[in-house]
Structure 1
Amino acid sequence: MEQASSFVVATRAALAQLTAIAVQYSFSVVGAIVLLVIGWVVAGLISRWAHNGLLRIHGIDATLAQFFSNAIRYALLILVIVMVLGQFGVQTASVLAALGAAGLAIGLALQGTLQNIAAGIMLLVLRPFRVGESIETGSISGTIVDVGLFATELRTSDGVYRLAPNSTLWNVPITNYSRLRTRRHEITITIGSDDDLDEAQAKLIRIAEADDRIVKDPPPSTYVADFDAGSVKISLRYWSISSDWWQTSRDLTKAVKLAFDKKPEVPDPQAIQA
């Protein structure tokens, strides 16, 4: 009987303790759920607000705005999770220390990837090139298709797709052929030393002025580039719109070649006598 009584007393005590624990933690669970829901909603609202605000800033790329807004959202969610753990008596200081150590380990493991992200952010902020522009570096050239956080997509002049890590574009000089509105080109021809120098220069100017794609300011110009005992080199210098530079340079080179290939017409002696 005594053993039965002791068992009943112990059982009642255990049930009372479990009830107290259940009541205590039920409030913690409810509070954690409420905190998670509110934190999730608030993080989403702040993320959208930050995204829309960044897009209104001149020069901020949409990709960069999305990256920063997502970073803010995830940082707020991590803070909410730490607060939820605190509801259950977990030491938040040790959790933050563990998160810091994990972040350091991940950063060391993904050092190359993080370098590309940092380079991508700088490329999106400083904008040395944009989508549709033609660029060239020491080993990469082509037209920009897309600029991402990790890599940049290009299309080469012969129609080949190329993916370049952002770090390879950030640490080298970049030549942007499309950024400025106009671009200069020169065509050099060689004439005989006995040919009319002034007439040759005037002919080059007329050929350039006849093409509407060549800008009027600054106007086309010519100069004597070099000469020797039997020949003279004359250069035509002109400016055209950057988007038309390639086709204009090809067409004008052909026009100059055809113009200086023409031989003066020799009068027909029979026609003169007639």
Structure 2
Amino acid sequence: MELNANEALVATQSALAQASRLAVEYSFSIVGALLLLFIGWWLSSLLSRWTHAGLLQVRGIDETLARFFANVVRYGALILVFVTVLGQFGVQTASIIAALGAAGLAIGLALQGTLQNIAAGIMLLVLRPFRVGEYIDTGSISGTIVEIGLFATELKTPDGLYRLAPNSTLWNVPITNFSRLPTRRFELKVGIGYEDDIDLAEKIMREHAEADPRVLKEPALSTHVDQLGDSAVIITMWYWTKATDFWPTSREMIKKVKLSFDENGISIPFPQVTYHGAAPTGEPAPEAPRKA
């Protein structure tokens, strides 16, 4: 009986010693893991702020894009810290990295369309083919830019409608930006009758353009006969204005030219077709009416 008590005491002491050793060993691991988590969290936030501030110093980098890359740096650093902490407890980090890679691939395949929009949004924010407040046209989408996001771009159409366009639809097509350059050329084409005075028509058009203060002196305006149409002689006038004055100037110019042509007897003919009839074969043509 005494022998069994001694064996039990020895076994208990051995178990306590082993538990104490494990507690000391894992306590250091736990303390180290907590320190790594704290330092990693602090460093990830610091790197994120540095990335955000540094990108904002680069010309052409948008605030949205700077925040996106700052978050990428932060969460990338946190993932690295998390894998390092698991390594402190003897976990095989290689298998974790492989699992994360497989999960990333699966997520990427599942969100292929969304990632395509993100990639297009990054390119739009970096290259800046348009900015907020500019009017664009892609052939299928047109409107004034309201906001450029990572996934989609918000526009307002000329008739006051809201339009949301995925970034991939704006990146893969030619874009015409009507607001980017400071000046624009207006082309006014007018058809006059063949019997009308071409020089007078050009003079009237030039006088109206030269009298408008919104028409720029340089580049100089010009007029020329563009073509000889079926029913009219086409006269073209080119002049330049500021982009903001393009629409009001062009609309007023068309009205003034039309009114002046009417006052000076210059016609703007509409398409006409003249048919010449012939008498049937073997029948005499009808005689012209005789004057009394």
After TM superposition, the score normalised by the length of structure 2 is 0.84
SS of 1:125's equivalent in the other structure is helix
CA contact (8 A) 1:193 1:229 kept: no
Partner of 2:213: 212
SS at match of 1:19: helix
Q: Is the 8 A contact 1:46 1:73 kept in 2?
A: yes
Q: Which residue of 2 aligns with 1:258?
A: 259
Q: Aligned equivalents of 2:93 and 2:20: distance in 1?
A: 27
**2: CA distance, partners of 1:76 / 1:168:** 33
Q: Which residue of 2 aligns with 1:15?
A: 16
SS of the aligned residue for 2:132 comes to coil
TM-score, structure 1 normalization: 0.90
- CA–CA distance in 2 between the matches of 1:211 and 1:26? 85
Q: Across the two proteins, how many residue pairs are aligned to each other? A: 264
Tell me the distance in 2 between the aligned counterparts of 1:147 and 1:161: 14
In the alignment, structure 1 residue 112 sits paired with structure 2 residue 113? yes
Partner amino acid, structure 1, of 2:235: I
For residues 72-124 of structure 1, the C-alpha deviation after alignment (integer angstroms, 9 at most, x for no partner) is: 11111111111111111111111111111111111111111111111111111
Q: Counterpart of 1:98 in 2: which secondary structure?
A: helix
SS in structure 2 of the partner of residue 159 of structure 1: coil
1:173-203 CA distances to partner (integer Å, 9 max, x unpaired)?
1111112221122222233333332122111
Corresponding residue for 1:237? 238
Percent identical: 64
Determine helix, strand or coil for the equivalent of 2:143. strand
Instruction: Report which stretch shifted further, 2-11 or 107-116.
Output: 2-11
What is the match of residue 57 of structure 2? Answer: 56
Which residue of 2 is the match for residue 43 of structure 1? 44
- 25-34 or 5-14: which moved more? 5-14
Change over 3 Å in CA distance of 1:228–1:179 after alignment to 2: closer
Gaps in structure 1 of 5+ consecutive residues: 265-274
Residue of structure 2 in register with 1:183 after alignment: 184
Q: Structure 1 or 2: larger helix share?
A: 1
> C-alpha distance in 1, partners of 2:203/2:169?
47
The CA distance in 1 between the partners of 2:203 and 2:108, in whole Å, is 66
Structure 1 runs, 4 residues or longer, greater than 6 Å off: none
* RMSD of aligned Cα (Å): 1.9
Q: Distance in 1 between matches of 2:61 and 2:196?
A: 58
Q: Distance in 2 between matches of 1:90 and 1:263?
A: 94
Q: Please tell me whether residue 201 in structure 1 is matched to residue 217 in structure 2.
A: no
Q: 1: CA distance between counterparts of 2:39 and 2:150?
A: 30
Q: Report Cα offsets for 1:118-154 as digits up to 9, x if no partner.
A: 1111111111111111111131111111111111111
Helix, strand or coil at the partner of 2:28: helix
Deviation at residue 13 of structure 1 after TM alignment? 2.9
Q: In the alignment, is residue 124 of structure 1 matched against residue 125 of structure 2?
A: yes
Could you tell me whether the CA contact under 8 Å between 1:135 and 1:174 is conserved in 2?
A: yes
* Ranges in structure 2 where 5+ consecutive residues have no aligned partner: 266-292
2:285 aligned residue:
none
Given that 1:185 and 1:249 are in contact with CA atoms closer than 8 Å, whether structure 2 keeps it comes out as yes
Distance 2:194 2:106 in 1: 74
> For residues 174 and 67 of structure 2, what CA distance do their matches in structure 1 show?
28
